[in-house]
Amino acid sequence: MWPAERPDLRMRVVWASAFLILAKLATVVIPYFFKWATDALDGKNTATEWLPLILTGAVTLVVAYNLVRLVSVGLNQLRDALFARVGQYAVRRLALITFRHLHALSLRFHLERRTGGLSRIIERGTKGIETIVRFTILNTVPTIFEFALVAAIFGFAYGVSYLLVVAVTVWLYGWFTIRASDWRIAIRKEMNDSDTDANSKAIDTLLNFETVKYFGTEEIEARRFDASMARYEKAATETWTSLGWLNFGQGLIYGVGTAIVMVMSALEVRAGTQTLGDFVFINAMMIQLSVPLNFIGFVYREIRQGLTDIEAMFDLLGVRQEVTDRPGAPDLVVHEGAIRFEDVRFGYDPDRQILKGVSFEVPAGKSVAIVGPSGAGKSTISRLLFRFYDIQGGRITIDGQDIAAVTQESVRKVIGIVPQDTVLFNDTIAYNIAYGRPGASEDEVRRAAELAQIAGFIEKLPDGFRTMVGERGLKLSGGEKQRVAIARTILKAPPILVLDEATSALDTHTEQGIQAALDLVSKNRTTLTIAHRLSTIVGADEIIVLKAGEIVERGGHEALLRQGGLYAEMWRMQRAATEAEEALRRAREEDALGVVERRRPVEV
């Protein structure tokens, strides 16, 4: 991350490092003032060897001792304050890199991933980078520096024997901490996996709340969630139990090492080779060294955990982009908006071809409809036009320009779509309409809503255009969501329009209103309609009939009916279904009317 840091943040790191060194020097000096103050109180003023006589009084040394402690705390806080922005910038930058990368990945990746698990990986990964950056620079490096200073002081002032005891103690402490922490990492990884699984199940069931209610499977979903939480409970219990053993082992090792040097010092005090202040100094130094050592165990665990969390995030960053722009690719320039598919071949899997040499053209300003049975490849055509996938053969052009040779952004900018299932952001109606052209004014949003014939409905709502639509737009009906999608497309004002079975999920009455709005938005635009209900595309300039990834018929509505082929058969079947639906509706109305007549009082 260092090369990517801003120059001003690099200077913050330099200043934070300077304060870090000064704080550690002050920390090492603190026990000296404690030693001198103790000796002064004991009648042996050893401070005169180092300090001017005016500063060697017992009270002065006690004041100096507390003052140096205060300076050490202040320097540490200055260090943390300066470094806070550096760490948070690193978190923000990595999160942004990951966010952009996820949006650059293909539709195939997102169809195969679980949203809940993905969000958890990103959340833990961004926290992991902060942990590593903060703990490495602010804790690990200063602890090593402090140990080096303490080792030098013990070796210089008290001899090699003290240095060896302290060094062996620290080494054993570090070895035990690393071995125990490695053992705990495996447990923590199991806990994280269980947490991710539980979170994925929870979000999945909440997103499919209505489905759960339809089938009355609340208890089944609760059991599935509880099974994941039971695994999490087991792993979390083991994590905390192992932490207890780790802390006990650390305390035992350091306690034995401290006891040894204290006994050595006590014997020398009795022999007269050390003062009482030396005994206090050694004890204070060992206590002081235990603080960062206790913390280094936590730091090591956090860094290891941070690396584990970041590994999953870096796995995401390592996923190759399936659809990429060519180096130096120009933007698409649209003059008329003519679309052309030339012998296009495509399959989601190499062994299963979806489109087998499809060729057709949508002239500028004209309307072409694509129909066919389920699985024929109709919706795949719209996805390929948006370049969600790269084709395996052939060419797709807009105004003669191969969409694979221009930037994806410029392709998607000139195409508007009204999908079959409109999913809205959990925000206001105004926000969702303005999504078609970010930065549009309120008047432009209102005008688009009027053209989509939804402004009247919106204005009757208590909050009007500021009404929240709920998760995925579930507070609105299917027809209302479709009108919002139409308004969004009107605001975008694209030269090319794709209608991907935009009315197939609506009832007949709602469909008629939506179709009128669609006819308005598609006027004078190059329009490609993926149709399920054939009644919506009888006025298309050309109808293409797709079957098993191949074009089997093409022509106008009347011409296709005269051919008596697949289109004519589909037309007859839909007409029969529509007539049956209409007859059933009339029967219900007549039955309701009969009930009213029977309930009316007889006049005498």
Give per-residue pLDDT as tens, 16-73.
778 778 887 887 777 777 777 777 777 676 665 566 655 566 777 788 878 888 888 8
Total structural domains within the chain: 3
Dihedral pair phi/psi, residue 451, rounded to 5°: -65, -30
Q: Which tokens go with 3?
A: 């090369």
Asked, for residue 326, whether it belongs to a domain, the answer is no
Does 353 lie in the same domain as 449?
no
What pLDDT, on a 0 to 100 scale, did the predictor assign at position 343? Answer: 92
| Contact between 545 and 565 (Cβ < 8 Å) | yes
Domain that holds residue 386: 331-414+494-569
The widest CA-to-CA distance across the chain, in whole angstroms, is 131
Q: What is the model's pLDDT at position 121? A: 76
**Which residue among 317, 344, 362 closes a domain?**
317
Residues 87 and 177 in one domain: yes
Q: What is the pTM of this model?
A: 0.62
For residues 166 and 44, membership in a common domain is answered with yes
Q: Which pLDDT value is given to residue 604?
A: 41
Positions in the chain short of pLDDT 50:
596, 598-599, 602, 604
Are 533 and 478 members of one domain? no
pLDDT at res. 544 = 92
In the 3-class helix/strand/coil scheme, how is 297-364 assigned residue by residue? Answer: HHHHHHHHHHHHHHHHHHHHHCCCCCCCCCCCCCCCCCCCCCEEEEEEEECCECCECCEEEEEEEECC
Instruction: State how far the Cα of 278 lies from the Cα of 265, in Å rounded to an integer.
Output: 8
Domain boundary among 493, 510, 537: 493
Residue 367 inside a domain? The answer is yes
* Phi, psi dihedrals of residue 349, rounded to the nearest 5°: -120, 145
Sign of CA dihedral 57, 58, 59, 61: positive
312 and 387, same domain (yes or no): no
Same domain, yes or no: 203 and 57:
yes
DSSP 136-151: IIIIIHHHHHHHHHHH
Is 230 found in the same domain as 167?
yes
CA distances from 191 to 20, 134, 152, 224 (A): 35, 24, 42, 17
Ramachandran quadrant class, 387 (left: phi over 0; alpha: psi -120 to 50; beta: rest): left
Same domain, 489 and 519: no
The rounded distance, in Å, linking the Cα atoms of 356 and 375 is 13
Task: Identify the pLDDT of residue 603.
Answer: 54
